[in-house]
Each structure stands twice: as C-alpha cells, then as structure tokens.
Amino acid sequence: MTTTRNVSILIGALWCLASLQSANGADVCPDLDGKDTEAHLEYLRGDRTKVTPKCIVAAIKYVGGEHYASASAVLIQYLDYPDPAAVARRAHILEVYPAIDALYSLRKQVLPELTAAIADAKTAELVRENAAFAILLLHGANQPEGISVLVRAARSQTDPTASARLMDKARWLATKCIEGTRNDCENAVLK
C-alpha cells in the first residue's frame, strides 16, 4: 500500500512540476501570444516542418493546461514529439514528450482514442509506446487496470493484428509497472 501511495505522490509531483515549468514562461511562443485554445490547436494542426519546436511545445502545454478535450486526436499525433530542451537536460518522460502530460490532463475520456492509436497499423511505434504509457499514467496507482484496458480493447478487436498490437503493448506495460504491482500487472495481461 505504501508503494502505491508513493507512486501516486510521484506522478502528482511530476505533473505539477511540468505544469509549473510552463507557468513560469519557459515555453513562451510569440506566434501564439495572446491567442485562444483553438488557435493553439490550429497551430498544432499545421505543417510540422514549418513551426518552431518551442512553439510546438508551448501549444501542446497550453492545450493540455486548458483541458481542451477536442484536442485529443491532435495531441496523440504529437506523442512522438520530444521537447528538445527537456531532452537536453535528460528530463522525465512527462517533460520529454509533452503530449503525454497534455493527454493525462484530459483524463480517462481519451482512453478509446489512445487504444485506437495503439491498434492502428499506421501508428508509429514510439506513438504506440507513449500512448500505452499515457494509459498507465491515467490509472495512477492502479497500474494493473491500465493494462486491463488494453487487454479488453484487444479482445474486442475483429482484426487479429490490431488485437496483437494491443496485447504487445499490454505485455510491454507490465514490464514498466513498479516493483510492488508488477505481479498484478503481469496477471492483468493474462486475464
């Protein structure tokens, strides 16, 4: 029980630190200054080759900070986008991939889209991994339930390869569970 509590505290602290960093102006983008949430989302929908990394990160964090639910599909497309500054300082995965944190802020309503992204053959492997990681984070201290979400989604698939992709990520996630819940996570894969 203490391990579960500590994981919840750690996840909460990391989320707060990531939010504080953006509140301190570390991710200011002149192109988006004073613009609303929809403008930030439109910026993210634009051509990735024509936007600056700092502005991409700022837009992702802004949209997540506003809990803008209609942004989930766009945020999923950015699950492979690392914040160059966070990479340079070897930050935690929540800071390195700001879309994970932004999707986390939208809560469990994004689960169907995350599982669909994992199942989709066109999804890049890094996006699949980060989508699975987001599912694990959304379940906080109940990590086995995050794995169960993937297992249930796999079983509901009519396409066997989509089902296999979901089960692969469920098994992968089980290896990422903290020590105190790893057995329960591995058992969740088998249920």
Q: What is the pLDDT of residues 41-69, one digit of tens each?
A: 999 999 988 889 999 999 999 999 999 88
Distance CA 101, CA 112 (A): 17
Alpha-carbon distance of 134 to 38, in angstroms, equals 23
Residue that is written with structure tokens 């990681």 in the block: 133
Structural tokens at position 190: 């088998």
Distance of CA 14 to the CA centre of its chain: 13
Q: Which residues contact 145 (CB under 8 A, 6 or more apart)?
A: 139, 188
pLDDT at 93: 86
pLDDT of residue 27: 60
> What does pTM read for this prediction?
0.84
Q: Are 66 and 102 in contact (CB under 8 A)?
A: no
Burial degree of 49 (CB within 10 A; 0-12, 13-18, 19+): exposed
At 9, is the pLDDT very low, low, confident or very high (cuts 50, 70, 90)? very low
CA-nearest of 142, 147, 134 to 181 is 142
